[in-house]
């Protein structure tokens, strides 16, 4: 099996580049189905999730070519609105296809989406919201069949500011009949990036990035030719912040957007990390001792992102004192805790709360990535640990980080991707 093998203790220094955001590129790729035309997407990372989405688009008849980090998407030859089940099962984000396919073809056939096992993530809000817009949705043995003679604008109040639901409504509403208002909309930067793309292909959107978004439905353009640059990945940038903080490093994170990372920067600064704006990026200097944080609670943007919870926890495992982490977004997102404990961390979990008692050192161990961000946290712990850490199942990490081992090695980390023997305890 493949694994990341990390020899801990190296102090990171130098420059590292942040690639485009996976969580922005995926819905934008889905949104490309709304129109006929040629779409150029710049700074699209080469990740497993992106490859799955490209495979889905190709299965639907869309032509996609990659040159480096640029994708050329020709949506003219869309042939079907049936998404293959084996591709849906690989990625949660495939639910984004529901709104665009119904909008363009009047029908969509999808199975329930897959993805990381980080707890219950129902798609009820997606379904209920689209029903309010005139979509009829039936389930047949795990397959969703959605139909709409025409999409109509509606006032939709979300029970929770769900990013995916907000994005699905945005896409469905762009060329619907009448006005759509989303109240309690998600405010994440990725929502704003999707809105910028939709505007470029003709949509009229106001309020993206606030709790109230208004979409004025317009006639679908006959043909578009658009170039769009994907925003930088704020979670990848945050992971590099943690890497420098945990190793006592001094690195420049190029391309990081400070306005997207305020809660993350604040948390690490409170823990003692020196973070400043420098040369268009973030200069991050790790300091000792690491200070414990009384309470960190994940919440929708602009709060502390759930996608950085595991990485911050790895950092706080080495703090002086006791920290408390409360996870409010997903109910299964502490699966990295047993793996960190194998490395010597002192963490106790009670339902949605983790109590982290800082230890003086972590020790290398054989651990397993259980999901994308958990895997990133284990890599970070390995960078700071004494001895050798082997992180199994790196394919989870590859879903959100492009060649993470090469990026870290470029700033001094001793990390390689290797094939290692599987064991009952390490690779089941």
**No. of helices (H) and no. of strands (E), the chain:** 14, 23
On whether 76 is known to bind a ligand per the annotation, the reply is: no
Residue 131's Cβ-count burial label (10 Å; 0-12, 13-18, 19+) is: middle
On whether 81 is known to bind a ligand per the annotation, the reply is: no
Measured CA to CA, the distance from residue 4 to residue 351 in angstroms comes to 30
Q: Which residues pair with 82 in a beta bridge?
A: 109
Expressed in percent and rounded to 5, the helix, strand and coil fractions of the chain are 35, 30, 40
DSSP 290: P
Q: Is 57 left (phi over 0), alpha (psi -120 to 50) or beta?
A: alpha
Q: What's the token pair of residue 159?
A: 């029970």
Q: What's the token pair of residue 314?
A: 């790895």
On whether 15 is known to bind a ligand per the annotation, the reply is: no
CA dist 91 → 96, 111, 117, 271, 296 (Å): 10, 11, 11, 34, 29
Q: Which residues pair with 278 in a beta bridge?
A: 281
Is beta strand 179-183 parallel, antiparallel or unpaired with respect to 155-157?
Answer: parallel
Is beta strand 37-42 parallel, antiparallel or unpaired with respect to 224-229?
Answer: parallel
User: CA torsion sign, 3 to 16 to 343 to 296?
Assistant: negative
Spatial CA neighbour of 301 closest among 334, 261, 337? 261
CA dihedral 233, 244, 385, 406 (to 10 degrees): 50
Give the active site residue among 30, 88, 91, 116. 116
On whether 74 is known to bind a ligand per the annotation, the reply is: no
Residue 222's Cβ-count burial label (10 Å; 0-12, 13-18, 19+) is: exposed
Is residue 116 annotated as part of the catalytic site, yes or no?
Answer: yes
Q: What's the token pair of residue 140?
A: 């047949």
Measured CA to CA, the distance from residue 49 to residue 11 in angstroms comes to 31
On whether 329 is known to bind a ligand per the annotation, the reply is: yes
Residue ranges of the binding site for UDP-N-acetyl-alpha-D-glucosamine: 92, 307, 329
Residue ranges of the binding site for phosphoenolpyruvate: 22-23
Catalytic residues: 116
Residue ranges of the binding site: 22-23, 92, 307, 329
């Amino acid at each position: 099996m493949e694994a990341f093998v990390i020899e801990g203790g190296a102090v990171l220094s130098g420059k590292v580049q942040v690639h485009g955001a996976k969580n922005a590129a995926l819905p934008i790729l889905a949104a490309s189905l709304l129109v006929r035309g040629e779409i150029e997407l710049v700074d699209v990372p080469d990740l497993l999730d992106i490859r799955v989405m490209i495979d889905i688009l190709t299965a639907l008849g869309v032509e996609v070519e990659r040159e480096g980090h640029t994708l050329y998407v020709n949506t003219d030859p869309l042939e079907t609105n049936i998404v293959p089940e084996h591709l849906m099962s690989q990625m949660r984000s495939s639910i984004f296809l529901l709104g665009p396919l119904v909008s363009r073809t009047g029908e969509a056939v999808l199975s329930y989406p897959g993805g990381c096992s980080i707890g219950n993530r129902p798609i009820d809000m997606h379904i209920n919201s689209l029903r309010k817009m005139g979509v009829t949705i039936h389930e047949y043995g795990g397959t969703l069949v959605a139909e709409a003679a025409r999409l109509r604008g509606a006032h939709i109040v979300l029970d929770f500011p769900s990013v995916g639901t907000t994005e699905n409504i945005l896409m469905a509403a762009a060329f619907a009949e009448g006005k759509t208002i989303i109240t309690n909309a998600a405010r994440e930067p990725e929502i704003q990036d999707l809105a910028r793309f939709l505007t470029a292909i003709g949509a009229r959107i106001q309020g993206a990035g606030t709790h109230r978004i208004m979409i004025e439905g317009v006639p679908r353009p006959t043909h578009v030719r658009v170039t769009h640059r994907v925003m930088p990945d704020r979670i990848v940038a945050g992971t590099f912040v943690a890497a420098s903080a945990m190793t006592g490093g001094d690195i420049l994170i190029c391309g990081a957007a400070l306005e997207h990372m305020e809660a993350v920067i604040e948390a690490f600064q409170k823990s003692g990390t020196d973070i400043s704006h420098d040369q268009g990026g973030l200069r991050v200097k790790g300091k000792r001792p690491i200070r414990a944080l009384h309470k960190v609670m994940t919440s929708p943007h602009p709060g502390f992102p759930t996608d950085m919870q595991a990485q911050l926890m790895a950092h706080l495992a080495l703090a002086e004192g006791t920290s408390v982490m409360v996870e409010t977004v997903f109910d299964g997102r502490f699966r990295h805790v047993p793996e960190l404990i194998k490395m010597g961390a002192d963490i106790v979990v009670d339902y949605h709360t983790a109590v982290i008692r800082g230890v003086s050192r972590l020790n290398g161990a054989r651990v397993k990535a259980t999901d994308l961000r958990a895997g990133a946290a284990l890599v970070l712990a390995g960078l700071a640990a004494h001895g050798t850490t082997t992180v199994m199942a790196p394919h989870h990490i590859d879903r959100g980080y492009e060649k993470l081992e090469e990026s870290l090695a470029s700033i001094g980390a001793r990390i390689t991707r290797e094939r290692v023997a599987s064991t009952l305890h390490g690779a089941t």
